[in-house]
């Protein structure tokens, strides 16, 4: 945190422009207020005329400044100044003492509302904590904790001996909480009050209840934070428009990996691309609920994703968003050819975690003609990398999913058997491939008929294998 102090000092001492502290993860709970408090305490000597702290969310800036000036400085504007802006200006102009003043605006949501009341004298240095980005306000990005510091924070609250003895579960717990300081502090204090609760069981409870678990909700009096994780995120949610909310909920359906922006666009084919960009930039990025992960890629923090998935279940448009998400990924899976090149693999590799999520968690949303495609796409991408064990697992999962959904005598089962057989054939495992081809052909002939293209393809594959040179 000392490096952040140095960066703040440099900006505050060299310029009168306000400094915004924002979370790179784009969410509340990353420690913006805590950093501001520690900075103010550590640098009191640099601000000889004092520090003024204002809670910038939910209360008028003018009211707080006038109350502070009267209670702490004995400044009372004359009654002839009726305008709030002029009354606040009177206090700034007559601020007592010599030297600089540090004005901290904590959790600022709307820059335009407070700008008319800001001091203009170069005596004042203005430090802003905010979840938003403001034009002309240079941010100091504050990220979630590195895993080492995340583990150390949990240890300090839940007990060092306990965390060391259950280190693997402690690290998994930190990972589930996304290394977010607020979440770690809340859960750590909760564990501190339950010494017999294992970290494994704590993790299981969080996985079951998510942000509805009591441990993520209660902020204690000794904490800087006044809200739990869900309540902190709710403040950002309240400021989003309906299109921005729908985009956020749509993105929550993807895996915890960078999402290619074009995939989000494909989910909203009827929306103007510029409007969708505005929902992303002014809405989710602007409210610090989304991270930019390089050109054309975006990702939600884990707990933001948890929060938005819960919101999605309550949205009237939930079914449509789910359908659009599944349709876009299936369409992408269909476009991956059997003969994959480096260029094709590079284009589709970013989709691997998202297609995996679809194949593992959402097969119930796939229709009869879509069910196999996520598995087939993954098999092809893994085969290109010579990851035959993973490719075989995908083919086996496709066969299991088809059999479970449609029963053992279905064209999808025949196709799954054929795909697994082809994988074995390509590896020279001919004795394993032949009975699978034979079984696939029997099912195809029975369900599709002798002359169906799929039946002919399987028959041709079987004949080629039987007639291969010894």
**Phi and psi torsions of 124, nearest 5°:** -95, 135
In a domain, 360, yes or no: no
Q: Do residues 183 and 144 touch, judged by C-beta distance below 8 A? A: no
Report the b/e string of 113-140 with b at 16+ CB within 10 A: ebeebbbeeebbbbbbbbbbbbeebebb
Question: 104 and 208 share a domain?
Answer: no
pLDDT band at 21 (very low <50, low <70, confident <90, very high): very low
CATH number for the domain spanning 266: value is 1.10.10.10
**End residue of a domain, out of 260, 285, 315:** 315
Question: 7 and 102 share a domain?
Answer: yes
In a domain, 204, yes or no: yes
Question: 13 and 95 share a domain?
Answer: yes
pLDDT at 293 over 90: yes
For position 22, what pLDDT does the model report? 41
pLDDT at 248 over 50: yes
Question: 156 and 287 share a domain?
Answer: no
pLDDT at 295 over 80: yes
In a domain, 45, yes or no: yes
- For 456-466, how does the pLDDT look when each residue is reduced to its tens digit (9 = 90+)? 999 998 998 88
Domain with 63, as residue range(s), is: 2-142
**End residue of a domain, out of 182, 201, 216:** 216
Rounded to the nearest integer, the mean pLDDT of the chain is 88
Question: 41 and 136 share a domain?
Answer: yes
pLDDT at 24 over 50: no
Identify the residue with better confidence: 23 or 37.
Answer: 37
For position 129, what pLDDT does the model report? 84
Nearest to 176 by CA among 155, 151, 157: 151
For position 133, what pLDDT does the model report? 76
In a domain, 346, yes or no: no
User: What is the SS3 assignment for 370-400?
Assistant: CCCHHHHHHHHHHHHCCCHHHHHHHHHHHHH
**Cα within 13 Å of Cα(384), Cβ side:** 19
Nearest to 158 by CA among 200, 116, 117, 127: 200
pLDDT at 315 over 60: yes
pLDDT at 136 over 70: no
Residue % of the chain over a pLDDT of 90: 60
Nearest to 317 by CA among 270, 352, 262: 270
pLDDT band at 235 (very low <50, low <70, confident <90, very high): confident
pLDDT band at 25 (very low <50, low <70, confident <90, very high): very low
**Cα within 13 Å of Cα(331), Cβ side:** 11
Question: 123 and 31 share a domain?
Answer: yes
**Phi and psi torsions of 358, nearest 5°:** -65, -45
For position 32, what pLDDT does the model report? 80
For position 223, what pLDDT does the model report? 57
Question: 88 and 199 share a domain?
Answer: no
Question: 129 and 15 share a domain?
Answer: yes
Q: Are strands 19-23 and 51-55 parallel, antiparallel or unpaired?
A: unpaired
Q: Do residues 75 and 69 touch, judged by C-beta distance below 8 A? A: yes
Question: 137 and 32 share a domain?
Answer: yes
Question: 131 and 171 share a domain?
Answer: no
pLDDT band at 55 (very low <50, low <70, confident <90, very high): confident
- For 88-126, how does the pLDDT look when each residue is reduced to its tens digit (9 = 90+)? 999 999 999 888 888 888 888 888 888 888 888 888 888
Question: 161 and 95 share a domain?
Answer: no
Instruction: Find the length of the chain.
Output: 470
pLDDT at 15 over 60: no
For position 303, what pLDDT does the model report? 92
CATH number for the domain spanning 112: value is 3.40.50.300
Question: 134 and 175 share a domain?
Answer: no
Which parts of 74-146 fold into alpha helices (H)? 84-93, 111-114
Cα Dmax for the chain:
105
Q: Given phi > 0 = left and psi -120 to 50 = alpha, else beta, which region is 317?
A: alpha
**End residue of a domain, out of 315, 346, 378:** 315
Q: Do residues 186 and 227 touch, judged by C-beta distance below 8 A? A: no
Identify the residue with better confidence: 20 or 381.
Answer: 381
- For 331-380, how does the pLDDT look when each residue is reduced to its tens digit (9 = 90+)? 999 999 988 899 999 999 999 999 999 999 898 999 999 999 999 999 99
In a domain, 68, yes or no: yes
What is the number of structural domains in the chain?
Answer: 3
Instruction: Write the DSSP assignment of 304-321 as a string of letters.
Output: HHHHHHHHHTT-TTHHHH
Q: If you search the block for the tokens 């998400």, which residue do you land on?
A: 325
Give the chain's radius of gyration (CA, Å).
29
For position 134, what pLDDT does the model report? 73
Mean pLDDT across 276-291: 90
Nearest to 123 by CA among 90, 97, 91, 101: 101
In a domain, 454, yes or no: no
- For 178-229, how does the pLDDT look when each residue is reduced to its tens digit (9 = 90+)? 998 889 989 999 999 999 999 999 999 999 999 999 998 876 655 565 678 8
Mean pLDDT across 131-149: 78
In a domain, 80, yes or no: yes
For position 117, what pLDDT does the model report? 87
Q: Do residues 326 and 366 touch, judged by C-beta distance below 8 A? A: yes
For position 16, what pLDDT does the model report? 52
In a domain, 263, yes or no: yes
Q: For residue 10, count other CB atoms closer than 10 A to its CB.
A: 12
For position 359, what pLDDT does the model report? 93
pLDDT at 330 over 50: yes
Strand partners, 141: 22
Mean pLDDT across 295-318: 94
């Amino acid at each position: 945190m000392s490096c952040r102090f140095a960066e703040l000092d440099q900006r505050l001492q060299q310029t009168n422009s306000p400094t915004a502290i924002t979370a790179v993860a784009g969410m509340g709970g990353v420690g913006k207020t805590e950093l501001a408090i520690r900075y103010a305490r550590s640098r009191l000597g640099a601000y000889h005329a004092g520090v003024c702290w204002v809670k910038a969310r939910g209360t008028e800036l003018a009211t707080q400044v006038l109350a502070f000036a009267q209670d702490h400085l004995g400044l009372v504007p004359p009654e002839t100044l009726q305008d709030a802006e002029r009354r606040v200006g009177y206090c700034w102009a007559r601020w007592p003492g010599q030297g600089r003043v540090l004005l901290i605006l904590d959790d600022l949501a709307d820059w335009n509302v407070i700008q008319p009341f800001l001091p203009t004298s170069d005596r004042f240095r203005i430090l802003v904590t905010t979840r938003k980005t403001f034009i002309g306000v240079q941010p100091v990005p504050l990220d979630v904790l590195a895993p080492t510091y995340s583990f150390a924070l949990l240890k300090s609250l839940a007990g060092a001996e306990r965390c060391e003895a259950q280190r693997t579960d402690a690290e998994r717990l930190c990972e589930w909480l996304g290394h977010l300081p607020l979440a770690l502090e809340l859960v750590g204090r909760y564990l501190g009050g339950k010494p017999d609760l294992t970290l494994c069981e704590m993790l299981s409870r969080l996985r079951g209840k998510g942000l509805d678990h009591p441990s993520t909700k209660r902020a204690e009096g000794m904490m800087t934070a006044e809200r739990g994780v869900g309540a902190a995120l709710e403040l950002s949610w309240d400021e989003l428009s309906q299109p921005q909310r729908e985009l956020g909920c749509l993105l929550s359906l993807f895996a915890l990996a960078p999402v290619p922006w074009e995939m989000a666009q494909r989910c909203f084919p009827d929306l103007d691309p510029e409007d969708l960009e505005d929902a992303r930039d002014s809405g989710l990025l602007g409210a610090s609920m989304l991270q930019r992960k390089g050109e054309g890629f975006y990702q939600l923090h884990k707990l933001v994703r948890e929060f938005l998935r819960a919101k999605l279940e309550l949205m009237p448009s939930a079914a449509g968003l789910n359908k659009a998400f599944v349709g876009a990924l299936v369409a992408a899976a269909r476009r991956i050819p059997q003969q994959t090149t480096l260029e094709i693999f590079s284009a589709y590799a970013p989709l691997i975690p998202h297609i995996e999520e679809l194949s593992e968690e959402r097969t119930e949303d796939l229709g009869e003609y879509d069910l196999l495609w996520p598995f087939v796409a993954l098999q092809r991408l893994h085969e290109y990398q010579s990851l035959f064990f993973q490719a075989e697992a995908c083919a086996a999962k496709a066969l299991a999913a088809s059999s479970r959904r449609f029963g053992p005598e279905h064209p999808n089962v025949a196709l799954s058997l054929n795909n697994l057989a082809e994988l074995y054939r390509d590896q020279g495992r001919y004795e394993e491939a032949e009975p699978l081809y034979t079984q696939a052909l029997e099912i195809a002939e029975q369900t599709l008929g002798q002359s169906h293209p799929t039946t002919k393809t399987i028959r041709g594959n079987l004949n080629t294998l039987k007639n291969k040179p010894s």
